[in-house]
Every structure is written in structure tokens, then in C-alpha cells.
């Protein structure tokens, strides 16, 4: 299967679907959900504001770091088109018809925690990008053997955030998605369809967690 399908010499389909259409639509939809909630209720809830701000900060971070994205497994090795922006914006879509009042204090806590996680995720990726740019000269590099006694020469980043855990950057990635989803809370007053209604906004977090665990395993196998 072609990992980098193109139309002609200059139109990269994967770049268009993942970045230009996918990520830009993510931002547009997040704002659109705010507008729709205002049309329905005459106001935008604090939960929707927190959700939208965090998503916009994340998308801004993505485009600021876009050059590093070309070296990620998502663009370099994964074969399928991702569910951006439909599933990724689903918490905001849920809040359109299920507004939640968080209160100023809780809203600020969630917003600050979410922005912190997005920053840590960015800094993890920045460290990795710098590590690759300098060919590992800014950290520890070694020839090593795997548990199967195979000799490897892959660059290993073992300092900074990456010194805390293997694939540490996935931790703030998952937490970021949690913090822009958790404004939906678990506040449905109706017993009927309770489980389904409360599961829907959290589907993205569950999906992303499974995806990143699988990606970490595949990346370990490649090293």
C-alpha cells in the first residue's frame, strides 16, 4: 500500500487530509460548535469555552510544530486516513446540546491543566526534533542489543522528558484530550440511555489511548 499517495508532483494527499483539511477543519468545527450552542441557548457555556480554547491551543501548537510532524509515525508509517476532524471534535459537538455549567473555579483548573499538558506535549516533541536534528549529539547515543540479542544502532533519547519514560510524549497527548473532554462531566439527569449518552464524548479519549498504546508497541518493535 502506498504510504505517500500523490496527485502529480506537488499535491500530497496525506498532507492535505491530515494537515490542511483535517487540522484546519478541527479548528473551524470547534468554533462552529460554540456558535451553534449560542444560537440554541443564547449563551456559550463555560464548559464549551474550555473545550474550544484547549482545542484551538492544540491546533495552534500543531501548526507551530508541523515540520516535526513529518518525522512522526503518524505521517511516516501509518497507512489509514485518521478520523480528523469528525471524532476528534466530538466532545464539542456533544456540548452543543448538552451544555454543562462548570463554575469559574473548576473551568480555570481544567483550562490550566489542559494548556500545561499541551505545552509538555509540545516540549517533548521539540526535544525529539532537536535530538534528530543534531544526530543525537545532544544526548546519550549507543549501540545496544535487544532482548532478542539483535544489535541496534537507532538513536535513543534518554534525557529531558524522555528520560522519565519511553514514549513519554503520549502521556500529555492523552491527558490533553481528556482535559478538553472532561468539561462534559457526567451530569446527564436521565436514567434512560444514560450509559450511551455519557460514553459518546469520551469515545475519542478511549480511542486515542488504544491508538497510542498500539503505536508505542509498533515503534518499540522498529527500534
Rounded to an integer, the average pLDDT of 173-183 is 94
Q: 52 or 88: which carries more pLDDT confidence?
A: 52
pLDDT score, position 181: 94
pLDDT score, position 88: 87
pLDDT band at residue 95, thresholds of 50, 70 and 90? very high
| Secondary structure of the chain in HEC code, one letter for each residue | CCCCCEECCCEEHHHHHHHHHHHHHHHHHHHHHHHHHHHHHCCCCHHHHHHHHHHHHHHHHHHHCHHHHCCCHHHHCCCCCCCCCCCCCHHHHHHHHCCCCCCHHHHHHHHHHHHHHHHHHHHHHHHHHHHHHCCCCCCCCCCEECCCCCEECCCCCCCHHHHCCCCCCHHHHHHHHHHHHHHHCCCCCCCCCHHHHHHHHHHHHHHHHHHHHHHHHHHHHHC
Mean pLDDT of the chain: 77
User: Does position 187 have pLDDT exceeding 90, yes or no?
Assistant: no
**Which pLDDT tens digit goes with each residue over 125-153?**
777 776 666 665 655 444 545 556 565 55
Rounded to an integer, the average pLDDT of 76-81 is 51
User: Does position 216 have pLDDT exceeding 50, yes or no?
Assistant: yes
pLDDT score, position 131: 65
pLDDT score, position 163: 60
**Which pLDDT tens digit goes with each residue over 21-56?**
888 899 999 999 999 999 999 999 999 999 999 999
- CA 128 and chain centroid, separation: 17
Q: Are 29 and 84 in contact (CB under 8 A)?
A: no
Q: Are 146 and 138 in contact (CB under 8 A)?
A: no
User: Does position 155 have pLDDT exceeding 70, yes or no?
Assistant: no
pLDDT band at residue 191, thresholds of 50, 70 and 90? very low
User: Are β-strands 144-145 and 151-152 bridged in parallel, bridged antiparallel, or unpaired?
Assistant: antiparallel
User: Does position 76 have pLDDT exceeding 60, yes or no?
Assistant: no
- Residue 156: left (phi > 0), alpha (psi -120 to 50), or beta? beta
pLDDT score, position 158: 53
Closest CA to 85 of 37, 6, 3, 30: 30
Rounded to an integer, the average pLDDT of 55-82 is 70
Amino acid at each position: 500500500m502506498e504510504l505517500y499517495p500523490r496527485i502529480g508532483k506537488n499535491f500530497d494527499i496525506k498532507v492535505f487530509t491530515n494537515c490542511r483539511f483535517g487540522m484546519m477543519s478541527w479548528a473551524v468545527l470547534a468554533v462552529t460548535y460554540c456558535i451553534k450552542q449560542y444560537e440554541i441557548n443564547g449563551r456559550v457555556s463555560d464548559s464549551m469555552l474550555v473545550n474550544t480554547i484547549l482545542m484551538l491551543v492544540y491546533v495552534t501548537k500543531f501548526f507551530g510544530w508541523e515540520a516535526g510532524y513529518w518525522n512522526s509515525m503518524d505521517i511516516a508509517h501509518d497507512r489509514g486516513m485518521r478520523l480528523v476532524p469528525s471524532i476528534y471534535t466530538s466532545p464539542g459537538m456533544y456540548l452543543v446540546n448538552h451544555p454543562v455549567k462548570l463554575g469559574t473555579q473548576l473551568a480555570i483548573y481544567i483550562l490550566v491543566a489542559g494548556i500545561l499538558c499541551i505545552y509538555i506535549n509540545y516540549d517533548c516533541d521539540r526535544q525529539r526534533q532537536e535530538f534528530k536534528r543534531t544526530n543525537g549529539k545532544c544526548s546519550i547515543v549507543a549501540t545496544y542489543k535487544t532482548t532478542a540479542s539483535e544489535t541496534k544502532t537507532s538513536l535513543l533519547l534518554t534525557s529531558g522528558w524522555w528520560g522519565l519514560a519511553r514514549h513519554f510524549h503520549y502521556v500529555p497527548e492523552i491527558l490533553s484530550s481528556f482535559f478538553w473532554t472532561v468539561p462534559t462531566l457526567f451530569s446527564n439527569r436521565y436514567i434512560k440511555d444514560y450509559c450511551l449518552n455519557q460514553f459518546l464524548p469520551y469515545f475519542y479519549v478511549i480511542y486515542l489511548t488504544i491508538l497510542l498504546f498500539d503505536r508505542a508497541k509498533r515503534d518499540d518493535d522498529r527500534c
